Structure 1
């Protein structure tokens, strides 16, 4: 695993302006991503069930951001609990933590963040409330630092003058800040490695069209939006040298689960000789899941496919299938980038060398 990186020429202040999660000390404020790009509005959550509902409704989304929000949800849940020490508190917080965990089952960061909160609770005494508050803050701070390092690592793989295609939203909106795959793109633009950024629209929630394009615009990066169905043709023109995407889970063999539509991009990229990069924090790595066929793929309301912007586009009384994620086999991935380094041509042996297990 390579870990050579440089933060030189990356202006983080310029390329890191958005914060989707704000802890006020009394409540959790979540930037409502359902209303972007036309309305910038925060939803205030004062209890853990409100946080769980916001995660399920995609008010907050993106695997790292979901984990951070859940950690703060535990802090909010603690306000209704009386306990003498962390062990007692963990027992009494268990139902709230389970509801948070059930809000989005595919993203491993959610379970990972909750497991961190349980561990620090188990080791804490009468100061358990302060302990979990510090832990939630640490989860957010560590994510931001990891994203900045990941961005530099991933950008170093990209030759100057490249075009890149990304999918869904993997930027500041999906994390504590800077982003995973979009952090790689931000770093690549800052270093002059990336000349052109293409964003797939990402049906049915249009995260690419509504969120990624807006985010890049805030940083002065001019993206070109493409229909998901145009991606293979775009690759055939030679305009794209890398596809850079995120992940909601990375398995022990290097298979990755990501937003639906990622798998077909990997297939098209391999056919056209385009490199394929997955950028995600090490908290997304799940060495307990051997391969992608063991991942539970979340399905959402089929009705999400029937309309765009509230306007129905499909005939009445038809069926739809609405999986939220798909799995990209490791054989189609050229590099997995985490804050711990770069794994090129990932497989089981490379993953074990990097992450143990």
Structure 2
């Protein structure tokens, strides 16, 4: 581990180069910095499904790039045929990670642009340009969100975060970690505590790695030590990302977020969520949301080493739901929503128009 690769906040997690989608393979971190090339939309779908790329904003842009590949490679000669090819690709891409609303957002945005095109050539061109612009916009949105969120944090705060909502979860800069970056850039002296985030360890493999390389004072804890650190006053505030936020303020994020929020409430610690408006689902109710169930081997083994008995039943949800009463504020590029969330979230969307 002495020769770890360098990751910085503006190194792109996903990019478009020479008619290919290029991604950092996050399954190889922190030991290797490997870039994966996706030559068609099935490659992109596989990368999303297997966590080569992960994080709601990053997979939203990846899905858009996947549809751009599908458009460019389609042999359709009419608009109707091309739209049919894109719908087929959209279905395959969407089914990879159904809980993260950014994926549906990215796919739907591309399909909206495609439907507005008049002919095959125009559709292919506009779809690609839109996907590229979505990637650029993601970085700008994250930096704006970071500035809004930084005002909630003070000099000498120790901030806990769960999972990875950094530059590796977005095109660049990050959501929750973008807030942390902006707080430091504002001249505030802060420390960070990262949870390891079992079972896939995004906190230890990605967040701790990312922050350490960017020069932050970061400590790693096992998930089971969250209560200990809070009870012993080692944490002042918490900020996490999100994969889906309902209009009611219910937040769906990496499994374990709910228990972090519960313990923060118990100890009087402010708990914030940072996510772009593209992560909001303004139509669904909590009972409508499908929680992705991951494969058992994520729990029963670490790498190639078996850590559980053969045949054991495994419950391995990828996400959980944190209710709005546990959340101090939701940080977005349009400002910070606070309770009552249904009103304040709606106002943010109106202000964005």
With normalisation by structure 1, the TM-score equals 0.92
Report the number of matched residues.
342
In 2, Cα distance between the equivalents of 1:87 and 1:146?
34
CA RMSD of aligned residues (A): 1.5
Give the corresponding residue for 1:187. Answer: 182
The Cα offsets for residues 220-273 of structure 1, whole Å up to 9 and x where unpaired, read as 113100001101110111121111000000001000000000000000000001
The Cα offsets for residues 25-66 of structure 1, whole Å up to 9 and x where unpaired, read as 321111110010001101111000010011000000000000
Residue 296 (str. 1) matches residue 290 (str. 2): yes
Residue 29 (str. 1) matches residue 22 (str. 2): yes
- Cα deviation for residue 348 of structure 1 reads 1.8
Residue 257 (str. 1) matches residue 252 (str. 2): yes
Write the mapping of 1:134-283 to structure 2, written as runs, cut at 5 A: 134-283=129-278
Give the corresponding residue for 1:5. Answer: none
Residue 338 (str. 1) matches residue 340 (str. 2): no
In 2, Cα distance between the equivalents of 1:159 and 1:87?
55
In 2, Cα distance between the equivalents of 1:87 and 1:144?
34
In 2, Cα distance between the equivalents of 1:256 and 1:81?
38
Change in 2 beyond 3 A, CA 1:155/1:346? farther
Structure 2: tracts of 5 or more residues without a match = 1-6
Is contact 2:190–2:217 with CA below 8 Å preserved after alignment?
no
Write the mapping of 1:2-41 to structure 2, written as runs, cut at 5 A: 16-41=9-34
Residue 51 (str. 1) matches residue 44 (str. 2): yes
3-state DSSP class of the match of 2:217? coil
Is contact 1:331–1:346 with CA below 8 Å preserved after alignment?
no
In 2, Cα distance between the equivalents of 1:325 and 1:345?
23
In 2, Cα distance between the equivalents of 1:351 and 1:17?
29
Write the mapping of 1:72-111 to structure 2, written as runs, cut at 5 A: 72-84=65-77, 86=79, 88-111=81-104
In 1, Cα distance between the equivalents of 2:110 and 2:176?
26
With normalisation by structure 2, the TM-score equals 0.93
The Cα offsets for residues 49-90 of structure 1, whole Å up to 9 and x where unpaired, read as 010011000000000000111111111111332345655422
Is contact 1:199–1:224 with CA below 8 Å preserved after alignment?
yes
Change in 2 beyond 3 A, CA 1:283/1:32? same
3-state DSSP class of the match of 1:223? strand
Deviates more, 1:202-211 or 1:182-191: 182-191
Give the corresponding residue for 1:7. Answer: none
In 1, Cα distance between the equivalents of 2:222 and 2:96?
29
Change in 2 beyond 3 A, CA 1:194/1:170? farther
In 2, Cα distance between the equivalents of 1:352 and 1:145?
22
Give the corresponding residue for 2:300. Answer: 306
In 1, Cα distance between the equivalents of 2:79 and 2:162?
41
In 2, Cα distance between the equivalents of 1:240 and 1:340?
27
- Cα deviation for residue 15 of structure 1 reads 6.2
3-state DSSP class of the match of 2:292? coil
Residue 70 (str. 1) matches residue 68 (str. 2): no
